[in-house]
Copies of this chain bind each other. A is one copy, B any other.
Amino acid sequence: MSTTGNLPCNVKFMVEGEEEVGSVNLEKFCIDHKEMLVADVILISDTTMIALNTPSVTSGLRGLSYVQVEVTGPNRDLHSGLYGGAVVNPCNVLCDMVASLKDKWGRVTIPGFYDDVKECNPEERAEMAKRPYDKDKFMQSVGVTHLQGEEGYSDLERIGIRPTLDINGIWGGYTGEGAKTILPSKAFAKISMRLVPYQNAERIADLFIKHFISLAPEGVAVKAEYLHGGESYVSPLDTPEYSSASLAVEDVLNKKPIPVRSGGSIPIVSTFEKVLGIKSILLGFGLESDAIHSPNENFPVENFLKGIETIVLYHRNYDQMKQKLTG
């Protein structure tokens, strides 16, 4: 308003502080306040773009299904000499079980896991492949010398349009300095699956839990708990909502932005669509070099300033397009 002297459309702000712990109260808040939250479109700036000189707008997000598992062997840590060889070791068992969750082609082995995955058609994949991508730079930015993943897909497809399964944490037995010769009583892991359109987070968690428990050998007890999840999201590109965002970015950064499917998850986006019936536009200004969720997470001031300019234009564009559409 201080720049243009007016605000061409009504704006409602929603501040969410629970996203990283699964937004447990936000769905209820939306259900309870449907009237108050009525809107044409939702603008969320929690995403990144490729670079200021290669702008992009996020057009899709992966979903998430996050579980914690616990494998219990003996009722206490045992002397590994007096029991090792005969009493089942829950740490070894956990490794066996987790190792079997992917096959040698990098595919998840949970029965039914891919049932609802909608394969992208060759044209869509060809379009995505046009996104600039410097493999060496990508590897260098995270300090690895090789990438790896599901056979038959490119690196960006593995991150953007394919589901996956990762251990987020694992622990059991003695983890201090030096050597302690125990056969541990318990082993734990936090395991999450990134999901793609039409996979349902709760259904995938159910499939995981059923399969994981079925893998347990005799001699251990297994628990598996669904911690939280969220659905994936795809934004159509031919709407006034998306076009307003795309044009605003082009005006500020002098280049038409590339639509990009992000591998991350913002569970509330699908909740908004389900509960309020409103689509979201994901217009974020972070960079892939921001090290998000890592030490030294950062956000460049220039992106912050360009973001302000872009959102001003987004409001103007959207108002104009709506006016034109509604006559």
Contact = CB atoms under 8 A, between A and B. Distances in A.
Interface string A236-259: 000000000000000000000000
Contact of A86 (B22, B159, B192): B159
B75 A142 contact: yes
A219 B148 contact: yes
Contact of A76 (B62, B78, B142): B142
A132 interface: no
A89 interface: yes
Given A83-B263, A179-B192, A294-B76, A88 B147 contact: yes
Name A's interface SS. Answer: mixed
Interface in A260-276: 262-265
Contact of A21 (B143, B178, B194, B295): B178
A180 to B, nearest CB: 6
Contacts of A73: 144
A96 B172 CA distance: 16
Q: How many copies does the complex hold?
A: 2
A159 B64 contact: no
A88 B22 CA distance: 25
Contacts of A158: 85-86
A218 interface: yes
Interface string A129-166: 00000000000001111111110000110110010111
A77 interface: yes
Nearest to A81: B264
9 contacts: A66-B179, A75-B144, A84-B159, A89-B166, A92-B167, A94-B95, A148-B217, A148-B219, A170-B173
